[in-house]
Structure 1
Amino acid sequence: MLLKAHLFLLMFCSAICSAAELSMLWLADNDLQASNTHKKLAVDVNGSTLQALRQGLPELAVKTLVVNTPRAMALLKSEPNACAGNKIVSADRLQHAVASQLPQVVFPGFRLFALKDSATARLLTELKNAEGKVSVQQLLEQNQSARFAIVGGRNYGAALDALMRDPQYQQRFWQRHASDLAGGVIQMLQSGRVELLIEYPNVVQHNILNQPKKQHGTAELISLPLVESPEVLLGHILCAKTPQGQQLLAVLEQQLALASQTEAYLQAHLQWFDPSSHAEVRRLYNQVYGTHF
C-alpha cells in the first residue's frame, strides 16, 4: 500500500545522489558486531534491516555510532550526514530531520506487562474492554499508585507520549536511560521496582529467554494490548535536514523499495520473533509493504 504509492518515484536517483559519492554516519542503538551480553539481549531489527539494505549499496561508506535515542536526535541536528533507523515519525522530529516515506521496520504495537500473580494483573483483567485491550489513561485514574517502566527518550506514539508528558502523571512513568535500555526496564518489573511495563512483546520475550535463569527466576508475566497503541508501529529512517541528509535518504529509500519486496528483508524482521508470532508479523509486513509472503 505505501510501497505502491512511492515505488515508481524511487526507481531512479540523480547523479548527485550516487551512493559512491556519499558517506553516512549511521546512528545505531545496538552493534551487531559486538560479542557481549548486550548484543545477546538486544533485539536489533534496526541493525539487521540495515545490513540487508547495505547489500544493495556496496559503494556507500558507512560509519556506525552506537547512541541512545536522545543523543541520536541531537546528532541529527549537528551532523550533516547523520541518519538513524527505526524511528517513529513525529512533528517534533521533522523539525530537524527528513523521514523516509516507506518504513524501514514493521513491528506489532506496544503491550502492557505486569507480574502474573500480582494485584495489578488482576486489575488489568478487570479493565479489559470488549476487544481485550487496556487503556493506560483509565489505569492511571483507577490505580493511583501503579508505576510504569519505560525507555527514556523513546517515542511511544502520540497518545502514550501525551500521557507520559502530562504533569499529573509524569512521576508515574519511570524512565531508564542506561545502556541496557529494554533489558533494564524488564528487570525493573521483574524485581518489583515498578508494577507495569510498556514494551514491544517480542523484546520482552527475547530478553527473558536470553537472561540468566537466576536473574529472572520463575516470575511469570502477563501482557495485554493497549487502547493507546496501534496494531502496527512503523519505524522510519531519519536523516539530517541538510543536502547530504536528503541525498542519503533518497539512496536509502530507493534500496528500501527494492529490498522490502524480498524474502530476505522479511527474514531480517522474523529472526527477532518467536516462531509462534511469525504469522502475525508476516501479516503486518504484507499489509504495509504490499507483499504476499
Structure 2
Amino acid sequence: MQLVSYLSARAGKWIKGTALIASLLASGMIQGTSQAAGQAASQAASEINWYVFPLPPLYIPEGPGKGEGIVDLALQRHLIPNLPGYQHKFINVPLKRLELMLRDEGNACALGLFKNAEREKTMVFSTPFFAQIPPGAMIPRAQIAQLRPYLLAGDKLNFSKLLEDEVLTVGVQSGRSYGAAIDDLLATYKGKKNIFLNSAPNAAKSLFQMNALGRVNLILGYPYEANFLNNRDSVDFVDLKFYPLQEQPAFLSGYAACSKGPFGEQVIEQINTILARRDILEAIAAYYEGWLPEDAHPLARQVFNLAFPVKARARK
C-alpha cells in the first residue's frame, strides 16, 4: 500500500509538471504563431501586387526592349519611387486574367487600364495618367491618294463611308476591341468583302505583312504598332501613314486601378497625388511619343493638351 501511495504521488507530480511544461510550450507556440500571423498580415497590408500583361509597346515583358514599354517606364520611374511605404511585387498574367485578379485579391493593382462601368464594380480607378490617340487607319504613303474620297477636315477618315463603299480592304484583328464606336461599325458591316479578319496568333504582324504584299489596303490599329514591329523584328514593312477616324473620340485615357476596398482606395489616393504633378504626366507622354511615327507627334501633343489642360491660375 505504501508503494502504491508513493507511486501515485510521483505520478501526480509528473502529470502536473508535464501539464505545466505543455502549458508553457503552448503559450509560447501560440504567441509565436500569433506574431508570425501578425507579421504576415502586416506584410500583406503593405505589399502591392502589380499585375502586368503582354501588350507591347505599353508593356514589353520579354525580348528586345524588355521593361522599356510606355507603362513599364511609368510604373518603374514614377509610381513606385513615389510609393515608398509599400513593397512592390510584379506578376505577369494574360490580359484575360487581369480583371479576375483585381476582383479576387485585396492588394492587386494594375496600370494602363481603360475605365468602364463593369470594371468600376470591382475596381477603384485613379485620375488619368496617360492619354493616347485612339485606333485609326494606316495605309502605305504611296497609296494615300486612294483615301481622298473619304478624308474630312483635319485629315480625319470617314470610316463608315469607306466600309459602305467596299472599294478598299481593311485588315482587322479578330477579337480585338478598337473602341465602342468602331466595334459597332465593324459589327454593322460584318460579312462585307472589304473587311478582312485575321485571327493568327500574331495578328498584328501578320496584317502588316499582308499590307506589304498588297493583300489589304489599310490596317486598323494604334499609330505606334508599325514602329514597334519594325524595331523588334527588323522587318522592312512598307512606310505607313496614320489617319484618325471621324467616328472615334479625341483620345482614350489610361488609368491605374486597384481592387475595390480600403487598401485599394488608400493606394489610389496616393497615386492621385503623384499624378497631380504635371512633370510626371509630361514624362509619360514623352515615352508614348517616342514610339510614334514622326508625323503623329503633333497629334499626340494635341491629345495630351486636350486630356491634361493647363489650369488657369486663380487671380489674387
- Asked if TM exceeds 0.5, the reply is yes
Q: Distance in 2 between matches of 1:33 and 1:223?
A: 23
**Displacement of 1:105:** 1.2
Aligned CA distance change for structure 1 residues 289 and 134 (closer, same or farther; 3 Å): closer
1:288 aligns with 2:307: yes
Aligned CA distance change for structure 1 residues 76 and 276 (closer, same or farther; 3 Å): same
1:138 aligns with 2:192: no
Q: Is contact 2:171-2:207 (8 Å) kept? A: no
Aligned CA distance change for structure 1 residues 78 and 259 (closer, same or farther; 3 Å): farther
Q: Distance in 2 between matches of 1:43 and 1:140?
A: 37
Letter matched to residue 251 of structure 1? Q
**Equivalent of 2:236, from 207, 210, 216?**
216
Q: Distance in 2 between matches of 1:62 and 1:191?
A: 46
- The structure with more helix, counted as a fraction of residues: 2
**Displacement of 1:279:** 5.0
SS of the aligned residue for 2:82 comes to coil
Letter matched to residue 212 of structure 2? Q
Aligned CA distance change for structure 1 residues 128 and 283 (closer, same or farther; 3 Å): closer
Aligned CA distance change for structure 1 residues 198 and 283 (closer, same or farther; 3 Å): same
Q: Deviations over 1:12-71 (max 9, x none)?
A: xxxxxxx9824223233359785624x37x982111111222121133222223334323
Q: Distance in 1 between matches of 2:176 and 2:292?
A: 24
1:158 aligns with 2:183: no
Q: Deviations over 1:223-273 (max 9, x none)?
A: 322112233221112222344333332232222223655754454444434
**Displacement of 1:85:** 2.0
Q: Distance in 1 between matches of 2:101 and 2:121?
A: 13
Q: Is contact 1:108-1:232 (8 Å) kept? A: yes
Aligned CA distance change for structure 1 residues 113 and 145 (closer, same or farther; 3 Å): closer
**Equivalent of 1:201, from 223, 235, 250?**
223
Aligned-pair Cα RMSD in Å: 3.7
Between the two proteins, what is the percent identity of the paired residues?
A: 25
Q: Distance in 1 between matches of 2:232 and 2:179?
A: 28
Please say which of residues 103-112 and 282-291 is displaced more in the overlay.
282-291
SS of the aligned residue for 1:160 comes to helix
Aligned CA distance change for structure 1 residues 27 and 34 (closer, same or farther; 3 Å): closer
Structure 2 unmatched ranges of 5 or more: 1-43, 312-316
Structure 1 unmatched ranges of 5 or more: 1-18
**Displacement of 1:129:** 2.1
Residue 148 (structure 1) aligns with: 171
SS of the aligned residue for 1:131 comes to helix
Q: Give the greater-gyration-radius structure (CA).
A: 2
Letter matched to residue 207 of structure 1? L
Letter matched to residue 190 of structure 1? A
Please say which of residues 22-31 and 249-258 is displaced more in the overlay.
22-31
SS of the aligned residue for 1:197 comes to strand
1:240 aligns with 2:263: no
What does 1:71-90 correspond to in 2, within 5 Å? 71-90=97-116
Q: Distance in 2 between matches of 1:288 and 1:96?
A: 25
Q: Distance in 2 between matches of 1:82 and 1:26?
A: 7
What does 1:42-81 correspond to in 2, within 5 Å? 44-51=69-76, 52-81=78-107
Letter matched to residue 200 of structure 1? Y
Q: Is contact 1:75-1:82 (8 Å) kept? A: yes
TM-score (normalised: structure 1): 0.71
Aligned CA distance change for structure 1 residues 137 and 98 (closer, same or farther; 3 Å): farther
SS of the aligned residue for 1:227 comes to coil
Q: Distance in 1 between matches of 2:290 and 2:102?
A: 29
1:229 aligns with 2:229: no
Letter matched to residue 64 of structure 1? F
**Displacement of 1:160:** 1.6
Q: Distance in 2 between matches of 1:202 and 1:244?
A: 35
**Equivalent of 1:113, from 131, 134, 138?**
138
SS of the aligned residue for 2:224 comes to helix
Aligned CA distance change for structure 1 residues 139 and 283 (closer, same or farther; 3 Å): closer
**Displacement of 1:192:** 4.9
Aligned residues: 264
Q: Is contact 1:103-1:234 (8 Å) kept? A: yes
